[in-house]
Chains A and B, each alone.
Chain A
Amino acid sequence: NAGVMQNPRHLVRRRGQEARLRCSPMKGHSHVYWYRQLPEEGLKFMVYLQKENIIDESGMPKERFSAEFPKEGPSILRIQQVVRGDSAAYFCASSPLGLDTEAFFGQGTRLTVV
């Protein structure tokens, strides 16, 4: 059973470009969470999605960031017009149920904005 798969592992974008980060949850998991980790800091919650629904986006910046989890295919975290401050590691986690279950993390996508 493959774990949570994120790609790409490393992504370099110039300021003003768009970044698309993909996350395929573990088989059987319908709940996905995105986190951001700045260097030498803990992970910060961004958004919680179920298939075709955003459940909690309280950690998402108000502008330029969006997330989706379509009925088919991976969850996508999209960052428009990237700035240097967006450089970070972005982690996706998945769980089979929203409540009372452990979330499993992927290996992350390291975004570098130059």
Chain B
Amino acid sequence: GESVGLHLPTLSVQEGDNSIINCAYSNSASDYFIWYKQESGKGPQFIIDIRSNMDKRQGQRVTVLLNKTVKHLSLQIAATQPGDSAVYFCAETGAGGTSYGKLTFGQGTILTVHP
């Protein structure tokens, strides 16, 4: 079946560095992609989203890049802080007509930021 997966299960960076978390997806018809941050013992927290008709979107300290040609999604975090340490998931919805609440999640990348 369709799936969303991540290249790297763990990522360790120094405080102040930029972080890049990658994600590959298999459903070429996916409309909408979201990055979530999940801290230990908590629910997923929305970070940033991007629609399939865009290739880049920027937020506060975060940028999401979408490459539909190779079905690849990345999350860039600028000036990473210890508070950014968490598990990061990419998620996608299906093609048009699928509820945005019905998401397919990737396995997750553990980001550890060292002071």
> Using Cβ atoms and an 8 Å threshold, which residues of chain B touch A103?
100-101, 103
Question: Which residues of A have CB within 8 Å of B53?
Answer: none
- A93 touching B42, Cβ below 8 Å: no
Are A55 and B99 in contact (CB-based, < 8 A)?
A: yes
Structural contact, A98 and B46, CB atoms closer than 8 A: no
In the assembled complex, the Cα of A102 lies from the Cα of B91 at a distance in Å of 12
Interface membership of B33, Cβ < 8 A? no
- Chain B, Cβ-Cβ closest to A55: B99
Closest to B31 in A: A100
For window 13-34 of chain A, which residues contact chain B by CB distance below 8 Å? 31, 33
Stretch of B65-73, B74-82, B105-113 that contacts chain A: B105-113
B43 touches A91 (CB 8 A): yes
Specify the chain B residue showing the minimal Cβ separation from A33. B101
Residues of chain B lying within 8 A (CB to CB) of residue A108: 42-43
Among A35, A42, A102, A108, max chain B CB count under 10 A is at: A42
Q: Given A105-B44, A108-B43 in contact, is the A98-B106 Cβ separation under 8 Å?
A: no
Residue contact B43 to A42, C-beta cutoff 8 Å: no
Footprint of B on A, CB under 8 Å?
Answer: 4, 31, 33, 35, 40-45, 48, 55-56, 91, 93-95, 98-108
Other CB < 8 Å A-B pairs besides A43-B44, A98-B101, A108-B43, 8 of them?
A33-B102, A42-B89, A45-B104, A48-B99, A48-B101, A56-B99, A101-B100, A107-B42
A-B residue pairs in contact (CB < 8 Å), sample of 23: A31-B99, A31-B101, A33-B99, A35-B103, A35-B105, A41-B108, A42-B4, A42-B89, A43-B89, A43-B91, A44-B105, A45-B103, A48-B102, A91-B43, A95-B100, A99-B98, A99-B99, A103-B103, A104-B46, A105-B36, A105-B44, A107-B41, A108-B42
